[in-house]
Amino acid sequence: MTDAEIREYLTGKNDGELFATADRVRREVFNTDVYLRGIIEFSNHCKQDCLYCGLRRNNRSIVRYRLCMDEILECAGDIARSGISTIVLQTGEDPFYSDAAIADIISAIKSRIDIAITLSLGEREKGSYKLWRDAGADRYLIRLESFNEKSYSQARPGTNRQERLNCLETLRDLDYEVGSGIMIGLPGDSIDDVITAIRKLTVMHLHMIGMGPFVAHNQTPFAGESNGNVDMVLRAYALMRILNPMANIPSTSAMESARPGGRMRGLQVGANVIMPSFTPKRVKELYNIYPGKNVQQDIDEDGLQSVLTMIEKAGYNVSWARGDSPLKANEKCKM
Ligand code: SAH
Ligand code: SF4
């Protein structure tokens, strides 16, 4: 596919053909299966100050929380009892949890439950990632957020895009299944940056590709900016599915925040993963990365039962399998 063709698709020149092709490709690899990942958001503290995110250090308007080991294990038990075979552990970048503490959480879960563990804890040193891999972590999600250097450094002050890229490569070297992606519509980004992202993410041969619309949060410097275009995200899901047939691609909850029904639509245009939240009710609303994320009316939306109903309604089947990356299995065969 040429850049000109990608641009035409992204601007909606032929949604019918694009979406039908993406769904055909997803069915060839995954049939109608939708994998579930139960997510535990165990801390909303963050040392970073990303201009787009409600958890940023300088947001003094939110109440901060941390879960202790027992609470995390309880959530992990809930996920396992529901039949889900992957746990995602996500937080702000919170140095309160030492490398060893995170490793303890991973091994405590692994010694009790036979389940895949995905981490999404931001940037750390190679030694930390290695310790966690050795403790039993299977996968790691770290989005590159934007392929535009300028908007990246504006949006993530004090950080460096190359370092984030290095984290991703380190994780791959440590034999994690790796996932990355972008927000679509980040202030300063243009359609050219989305085309670049589609190209560059594809040559990275990622096991997981996570994308969602930027959603403006009123307690951040990006309050008042326009949200990302949900239709463009749907087209990006479809393009990424066609270019990366074997990748696990979630239809993210930001889709639902930006447009009710957006997440279900994502499943019909190439996405094959849904991540219901198992964060305890008493803190769930405080994990407010973007508006609508885990807020009261959304709690049920994001709960397991409504996610199961949504998958059936979209015309697909719930899979309780681990949903390891078929790409990773292929890499092993070639070794
Ligand atoms: N602290 C970790 C993980 C939590 S943030 C990290 O930053 O990697 C998880 C993802 O939420 C980020 O990668 C970002 O893409 C997304 N996100 C944050 N703020 C957002 C917003 N305002 N709109 C949409 N997505 C957002
Ligand atoms: Fe922290 Fe992640 Fe939010 Fe940035 S996006 S402020 S690193 S939680």
196 backbone dihedrals φ, ψ, rounded to 5°: -60, -45
**Listed range (85-89, 212-216, 330-334) with the worst mean pLDDT:** 330-334
pLDDT at 192: 98
Ligand 2 centroid to Cα of residue 84, in Å, is 26
Residue 319 has pLDDT above 60, yes or no: yes
Instruction: Single out the residue of 91, 145, 90 nearest to residue 118, CA to CA.
Output: 90
The pLDDT tens digits for 131-148 are 999 999 999 999 999 999
Q: What is the mean pLDDT of residues 24-48?
A: 98
- Residue 64 Cα to ligand 2 middle (Å): 14
Q: What is the 3-state secondary structure (H, E, C) of 281-328?
A: HHHHCCCCCCCCCCCHHHHHHHCHHHHHHHHHHHCCEEECCCCCCHHH
Q: Round to whole Å and give the CA distance between 187 and 145.
A: 11
Asked whether residue 226 carries a pLDDT value surpassing 90, the answer given is: yes
Average pLDDT of the residues in 104-128: 98
Residue 223 has a pLDDT of 97
Q: Decide: 256 in ligand 1 pocket, CB within 6 A.
A: no
Task: Give the nearest ligand 1 atom to 120 CA.
Answer: 3
Query: How high is the mean pLDDT of the chain?
Result: 95
Tell me which residue has its CA closest to atom 3 in ligand 2: 53
- Looking at this protein, which amino acid is placed at residue 170? T
CB–CB of 71/101 below 8 Å? Answer: no
**Does residue 93 line the site of ligand 2, with CB under 6 A?**
yes
79-93, 150-164, 224-238, 291-305: least confident range: 291-305
Statement: 3-333 belongs to CATH 3.40.50.300: no
Q: Over the stretch 266-308, which tens digit does the pLDDT of each residue have? A: 999 999 999 999 999 999 999 999 987 766 454 555 678 889 9
Strand, coil or helix: what is 259?
A: coil
- The protein residue with its alpha carbon nearest to ligand 2, atom 8, reads 92
Tokens linked to 198: 């589609």
Does 155 or 305 have the greater pLDDT score? 155
- Over residues 311-324, mean pLDDT: 97
Domain ranges within the chain, ordered by starting residue: 3-333
Indicate whether residue 142 lines ligand 1 (CB < 6 A). yes
- pLDDT in the model for residue 306: 87
In angstroms, the Cα distances linking 50 to 3, 178, 220, 283 are 30, 22, 9, 22
User: Which of 44, 53, 46, 47 has its CA nearest to residue 220?
Assistant: 53
39 torsion bin: left (phi>0), alpha (psi -120 to 50), beta (else): beta
Which of 160, 289, 290, 294 is the pocket-test mutation for ligand 2 (most atoms within 8 Å of CB)? 289
Ligand number nearest CA of 46 is: 2
Q: Which of 55, 65, 182, 289 to mutate to test the pocket of ligand 2 (most atoms within 8 A of CB)?
A: 55
Question: Cβ distance 109 to 73 under 8 Å?
Answer: yes
